[in-house]
Amino acid sequence: MDIDSDLQKVLPTEEHDYDREKELKAFDDTKAGVKGLVDAGVVTIPRIFFMPPEDTLSAKLDDHGSFQAPIIDLRDRAAYAETVEKIRYASEKWGFFQVINHGIPQDVINKVIAGVQRFHEQPKEVKMKFYSREKEKKVRFISNYDLYVSKAANWRDTLYCAMAPNPPPPKEYPVACREILIEYSEHIQSLGQILFGLLSEALGLNPSHLTDMGCMEGHVFFCHYYPACPEPDRTIGHAKHCDPDFLTILLQDQIGGLQVLHEDHWIDIPPLEGALIVNIGDLLQLISNNKFRSVEHRVRAKRAGPRISVACQFTTLYEPTDKLYGPIKELLSEDSPPLYKETLIKDYLYSFCSLGSDNDSALAFFRL
């Protein structure tokens, strides 16, 4: 396939020539992603990426730093009760926090970032072999999973890797980052065990409660690549969204751009050397009966780049399971009745994917 000639179809020369569906397909058919556009030397972004101004600048910006997402040190086991309280506060009020001294070596973190960047910066012919929109594939390269249902395409490419509970054979992961992603997955599993224990206690439950429910049964990696954008005010790296999982552990490099919506302000989550970002997902908000909050967040497009991030989402995603998830019985009372009906993860995901990431929360479909 002549990718360069296909890219020309994404760039209309006249306003009246614009056919959104046609150009979305033309972009998708290149299998080169946003990186392909950058490599082709675009200086004006294609119209399919134009985001309405109210979505790129919606809500107030916290220009004066009056808010700061909580930073929690996991090293001090002597202050365990205090750590649980900090986790409870962060999960109830913010839905977001950063953890330091989390036990994952810095050299592993650096290798993860380097490996993901190495994959995305390979020749397009190598990456194209992984390009797919088939959700059942456990390893796939994609640009904008919601390309055809979102308001606008986002300035981002993604390598998706399912890591648990039934990972594919190691040879199916890309050579460029295979070994380090498998190693990182083991570290993440250990950190997840710690975090779910703290979250359980923060809910007033037995430390193993969330793990026993199956919240840790699966995890997947979304290895994002945000190329430098020539017109960052016209698009966005990742539109505002909530995460369709129980818990997300995010590794980001030093470029920045992540923001969380807090008290109607967009708050920057600046890169912090050695820190990992943790946020509550929709499914944890559901089972905690709104005690913990899944909040909207986004990534702004930037002229600097590329930005690399790896989001580990704890969920079984498309693994077949008949397990129903609803508000935890121990958290319910006459004064705190269930707010959501029980759901299968696959049914929740269907609602999430049908909406697109830049629409209202899929949790609304499950409110009682």
Upper half-sphere CA count for residue 37 (Cβ side, 13 Å): 29
| Cβ count near 119 (within 10 Å) | 23
Angle at 154 between CA 122 and CA 99, to 5 degrees: 80
214 Cβ partners below 8 Å, 6+ apart?
316, 323
Domain limits of the chain?
Answer: 53-366
Provide the residue-wise pLDDT of the chain in tens; the chain has 368 residues.
345 556 555 655 455 578 999 999 999 999 999 999 999 999 999 999 999 888 877 767 766 567 889 999 998 777 899 999 999 999 999 999 999 999 999 999 999 999 999 999 999 999 999 999 998 899 999 999 999 988 899 999 999 999 999 999 999 999 999 999 999 999 999 999 999 999 999 999 999 999 999 999 999 999 999 999 999 999 999 999 999 999 999 999 999 999 999 999 999 999 999 999 999 999 999 999 999 999 999 999 999 989 999 999 999 877 778 899 999 999 999 999 999 999 998 888 878 777 655 556 789 889 99
What share of residues in the chain are helix, strand, coil (percent, to 5)?
A: 35, 20, 45
Fold of the 53-366 domain: Jelly Rolls (2.60.120)
CB 193 within 8 A of CB 121: no
Angle between helix 178-202 and 106-120 (nearest 10) = 120
Tell me how far the alpha carbon of residue 291 is from its chain's centroid.
22
Q: Output the DSSP codes for 13-68.
A: SSGGG--HHHHHHHHHHH--HHHHHHHTT-SS--GGGPPPHHHHS-SEE-TT----
Structure tokens, 282: 């929709």
